[in-house]
């Protein structure tokens, strides 16, 4: 007997049921967030903190600051973004016009810092614009440099000097930058030498600092005798007596030549201040020629205790604090 033929009936599903039917048949996919969170900005930094200003609109404010292996992945503070954020905060908050900086190890990190400092520009000792710069400073080693307000300071030329004393300067010959200062409607040319002398209190290191000082004195007396000269830096020794026990300051030839050169930051040494938080001496100084010191604002030298505003400063930022002096605008 032949079974009767059955007619198959197809039911038409309403549109709202089709997605459910597909998923029930194994055709579903994992839901996708239509608006995923964007990747974090690789250049973003921790929130800023307030640092009280020390610069003024009526003065030329000059600072030296050792940034402690800034940009090094293997030395200095371990949280590089936090270090950069706090350096940003100190520079922006202090509101000074010209900074000499030391121990910058990475050009890329330095450029990132400048991107967080609107109104400032900067230059490192191995920059392509620095004559002989890349001959003595390589990408990963400690470098000196300057950071400045571009509305007040412009660079006209830059070179390394005293390269024949490279060893005496511990492989860090001074960066000489010729500047044009414009402030209060007046313009004046100046020369800044950013310096980082040999560290340590042993006799061999003392002798290197002394040899470098002799060469520096001969150079500035002969080549820059008529210029307005400022030499801010990490001199790695004090100017009243040496950090090397029983030795005089290696910078005696400058200290005694008061008609031509003055350390205004010597006031800090006399007061018993410190610029290095692990020791009790001022080793970060600013030297000025008589042309510069004619405009010095008396008693303005300051070892700025920014560590009082920054938690764990020694571990997160630097073992040095900024040292600042002020000058009347160029006349």
pLDDT for 266-318, tens place per residue?
999 999 999 999 999 999 999 999 999 999 999 999 999 999 999 999 999 99
Query: Which of the four pLDDT bands, split at 50, 70 and 90, describes residue 42?
Result: low
Per-residue pLDDT at 72: 96
Model confidence, pTM:
0.87
* pLDDT recorded at residue 329: 84
Sheet strands side by side (includes 143-149)? 120-124, 143-149, 98-104, 60-70, 323-327, 302-303
Q: Report the chain's mean pLDDT, rounded to a whole number.
A: 90
Q: Cβ–Cβ contacts within 10 Å for residue 305, how many?
A: 13
Q: Above 90 in pLDDT, residue 87? A: yes
Mean pLDDT of 69-76: 95
Task: Please count the CA atoms within 13 angstroms of the CA of 246 that sit on its side-chain side.
Answer: 2
For residue range 178-202, what is the model confidence (pLDDT) as tens digits?
999 999 889 999 999 999 999 999 9
> What is the rounded CA–CA span in Å between residue 242 and residue 200?
11
**Which residue is associated with the tokens 């004046």?**
188
């Amino acid at each position: 007997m032949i079974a009767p033929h059955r007619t198959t009936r197809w039911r038409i599903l309403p549109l709202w049921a089709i997605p459910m039917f597909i998923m029930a048949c194994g055709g579903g996919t994992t839901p996708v967030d239509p608006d995923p969170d964007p990747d974090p900005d690789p250049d973003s930094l921790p929130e800023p903190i307030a640092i009280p200003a020390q610069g003024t609109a009526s003065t030329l404010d000059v600072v030296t600051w050792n940034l402690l292996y800034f940009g090094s992945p293997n030395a200095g503070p371990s949280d590089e973004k936090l270090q950069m954020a706090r350096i940003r905060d100190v520079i922006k908050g202090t509101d000074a016009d010209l900074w000499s900086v030391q121990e910058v190890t990475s050009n890329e990190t330095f450029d990132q810092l400048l991107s967080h400092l609107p109104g400032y520009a900067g230059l490192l000792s191995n920059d392509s614009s620095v004559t002989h710069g890349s001959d003595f400073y390589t990408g990963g080693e400690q470098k000196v440099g300057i950071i400045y307000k571009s509305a007040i300071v412009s660079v006209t030329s830059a070179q390394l000097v005293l390269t024949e004393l490279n060893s005496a300067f511990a492989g860090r010959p001074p960066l000489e930058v010729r500047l044009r200062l414009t402030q209060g409607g007046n313009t004046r040319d100046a020369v800044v030498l950013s310096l980082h002398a040999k560290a340590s209190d042993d006799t061999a290191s003392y002798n290197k600092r002394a040899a470098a000082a002799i060469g520096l004195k001969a150079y500035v007396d002969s080549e820059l005798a008529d210029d307005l000269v400022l030499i801010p830096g990490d001199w790695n020794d004090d100017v009243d007596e040496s950090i090397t026990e029983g030795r005089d300051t290696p910078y005696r030839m400058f200290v005694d030549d008061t008609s031509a050169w003055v350390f205004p930051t010597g006031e800090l040494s006399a007061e018993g201040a410190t610029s290095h938080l692990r020791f009790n001496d001022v080793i970060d100084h600013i030297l000025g020629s008589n042309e510069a010191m004619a405009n010095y604002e008396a008693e303005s030298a300051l070892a700025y205790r920014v560590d009082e505003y920054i938690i764990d400063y020694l571990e997160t930022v630097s073992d040095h604090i900024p040292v600042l002096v002020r000058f009347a605008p160029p006349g």
